[in-house]
């Protein structure tokens, strides 16, 4: 027998990049089945905190949720300065998807103005988005 909470406290989830994280170093099972990954994505998209998601999934730590979300490309939500959040909300077509506030916090919403043709943001936010992109060294 083992006590999950105690075990999780000593677990370090340190799977190197490229390795699947099916087990922790202390052997607690925490498989990322397709179902659990879908649930993670869904809850993450709803703006739940990593801790809330971990509690919903069960048998995973908050750090595991963050790590998994990171690998899924979901982990930029707390940094709205580079709004890749558009991919989390593909249903908003033709409306500005610039995030206002911090996802997960009350008051968070998308701009919602009419977007420029062929662009995900309104004119004002396009100028902000593309100025940021051009200043960045990222490819
Ligand atoms: Zn806007």
Residue 15: DSSP 8-state: P
pLDDT at 94: 82
- Condensed to tens digits (0 to 9), the pLDDT of residues 9-40 reads 444 444 455 545 444 444 455 678 999 999 99
Burial environment of residue 50 by CB neighbours within 10 A (0 to 12, 13 to 18, 19 or more):
buried
CB-based neighbours (< 5 A) of ligand 1, an ion: 96, 98, 111, 113, 122, 125
User: 102, 120 in Cβ contact below 8 A?
Assistant: no
Ligand 1 center to 114 CA (angstroms): 8
Ligand 1 center to 88 CA (angstroms): 17
- Condensed to tens digits (0 to 9), the pLDDT of residues 52-91 reads 999 999 889 999 999 999 889 886 555 444 555 555 555 4
- Condensed to tens digits (0 to 9), the pLDDT of residues 108-124 reads 998 988 898 888 889 99
pLDDT at 57: 92
Ligand 1 center to 94 CA (angstroms): 11
Name which residue leads in pLDDT, 130 or 116.
Answer: 116
Using CA atoms, how far apart are residues 97 and 65, in angstroms rounded to an integer? Answer: 25
């Amino acid at each position: 027998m083992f006590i999950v909470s105690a075990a999780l406290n000593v677990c370090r989830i340190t799977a190197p990049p490229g390795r699947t994280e099916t087990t922790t170093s202390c052997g607690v099972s925490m498989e990322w089945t397709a179902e659990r990954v879908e649930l993670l994505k869904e809850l993450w998209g709803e703006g739940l905190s990593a801790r809330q998601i971990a509690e919903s999934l069960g048998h995973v730590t908050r750090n595991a949720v963050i790590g998994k979300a990171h690998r899924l490309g979901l982990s930029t939500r707390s940094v709205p300065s580079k709004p890749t959040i558009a991919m989390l909300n593909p249903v908003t077509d033709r409306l500005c998807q610039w995030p206002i506030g911090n996802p997960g916090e009350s008051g968070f919403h998308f701009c919602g103005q009419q977007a420029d043709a062929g662009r995900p943001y309104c004119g004002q936010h396009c100028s902000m988005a593309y100025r940021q992109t051009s200043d960045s060294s990222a490819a």
